[in-house]
Structure 1
Amino acid sequence: MKITQILALGVCCILICNARAAKSRTYMDTITNKQKVLSFYKQIVGQRKTELIPEFIIEGYKQHNPTVKQGRAGITEMINFLKTLPSPPEGARSPIVRAIQDGDLVVLHLDVSFMGKRMAVIDLFKLKDGMLTEHWDAIQPLPDESGKAITATNGTTEIEHHASAEDSRLIVDQFYKVILNKQSASQFINPAYVEHDASVVASGKGLAGYLSEPERAVKIHRIISEGDFVVVQSQFNRNGKTFVFYEIFRVAGRKIAEHWSVEQAVPDDVKPEDMF
């Protein structure tokens, strides 16, 4: 099997032998899809139980990761590859940091370490009748962040379910509309705002300034929300290349209070639309 950076997600996820049950699992149908995805990670990816794949994945499973085959065959091939690797250590930390659900969509934010390399990953799954039907993702290598108080994936993890998902989504949607219209967005930023994207910090422009750079040409595909967390799936351009871009926003006091992101270049031989 060809091993690529994107396939490294499968390799790195051998650490998910004991994926935690998200503490945000409350409220009826929110349990079903989110817990189904977490169970998929634990039993299929972590414990490599290929015999259970038909219980989680539909035969016509649509894969937007261009290095993985379509359907159950792609998942089976990936898990069979994982079986050739050493077993994860007993009690290994789960790399799942955040789990967010909006109806039939579930987003996982992961901090994955493998063979001395660390990556931030965002997975997006679509489900129907309790079965995984579609998958998108992005993987970004991370630098050494030892000793840093703010890293690419740390910060708030628990969803505030008393917060309105619709209100949170509206704040982020309005924020982006203002940015795309080249207007000031300072009114959307909480005074206690925390930025986890080192590129935003290094730019010195703030989040709004960074996202509104003329060469970025942002195109939003989906906005997903649960409680005070909002995920934006989009694409942008840099130096003639198209990037897949996932952002997680936390909203507090009707303002953006925290921000994480994962970006990945679209391979040269892949149409950008195929990754969305």
Structure 2
Amino acid sequence: MKISLVLGALVLVGVTAAISWWLGINHERRREQANIEMVLAMWDGVINRADPDAVMKYIDEDYIQHNPNVRQGREGVLELISLIRNPPPAMVPPGKKTLKKAIAQGDYVVVIWTQPQPDPHNPGETYSGEAFDMFRIANGKVVEHWDDTRKALTPWRR
């Protein structure tokens, strides 16, 4: 009888641990999916629509920007959307990005895009290239951004 009680207790502990592990994994997956959805909504509002309300909703005040063409902080993103709306004559904005894949791990979301790139062999023409953006999320806001952008001849600033 003691052996069956011990085995029953071990089975109960094992089942409880398995359920806890499974619930933890599902919670993390739901959080990561929510982060992806938030980043894609942010991209649409901030980049595609250049909406200042989207900047306020999704971008943290102390936003860290690793793109050398954009200033730090939320104010840098507000300046960027002003340039998206009214680009100065010398600014050559990048081509529009089309979503290919978004993946998340914890607080990080990586978005892979297809984007027209200038063709160095055929001036004035473009080819379809790949680009990426990576975001770090904290407290429901985008707090940090990385991408594959290099310094522009004329930075995206006023």
Q: TM-score, with normalisation over the residues of structure 1?
A: 0.36
Q: Is the 8 A contact 1:32 1:130 kept in 2?
A: no
SS in 1 for 2:116: strand
Higher relative contact order (CA 8 A, sep 6+): 2
Structure 2 counterpart of 1:123, from 127, 133, 136: 133
Q: Identity over the aligned pairs, expressed in percent?
A: 28
Q: Once the 2 structures are TM-superposed, how far is the Cα of residue 43 of structure 1 from its aligned partner? A: 1.3
> Counterpart in 1 of 2:6?
none
Question: 2-side partners of 1:53 and 1:39: how far apart?
Answer: 11
Whichever structure has more helix as a proportion of its residues is: 2
Query: Take 1:68 and 1:44, find their aligned partners in 2: how far apart are those partners?
Result: 14
Q: Kindly indicate whether residue 105 of structure 2 is the aligned counterpart of residue 105 of structure 1.
A: no
Match of residue 58 from structure 2: 56
Aligned counterpart in structure 1 of residue 144 of structure 2, from 122, 125, 134: 134
Letter in 2 for 1:109: I
- 1:94 deviates by 6.1
In 1, Cα distance between equivalents of 2:42 and 2:125 = 26
Counterpart AA for 1:72:
R
Q: Alignment partner of 2:147: what SS?
A: strand
**Take 2:125 and 2:107, find their aligned partners in 1: how far apart are those partners?**
35
Q: CA deviation at 1:73?
A: 1.5
Structure 2 length normalisation: TM-score? 0.61
Q: Give the total of aligned pairs.
A: 110
Question: Which structure is larger by alpha-carbon Rg, 1 or 2?
Answer: 2
SS at match of 2:148: strand
- In structure 2, relative to structure 1, the CA distance for the partners of 1:94 and 1:122 (3 Å cut) is closer
User: Does structure 1 conserve the Cα–Cα contact (< 8 Å) formed by 2:35 and 2:109?
Assistant: yes
Q: Distance in 1 between matches of 2:34 and 2:41?
A: 10
- Structure 2 match to 1:146: none
State the Cα distance separating 1:40 from its structure 2 match.
0.7
Unaligned 5+ segments in structure 1 are 1-26, 86-92, 140-263, 268-276
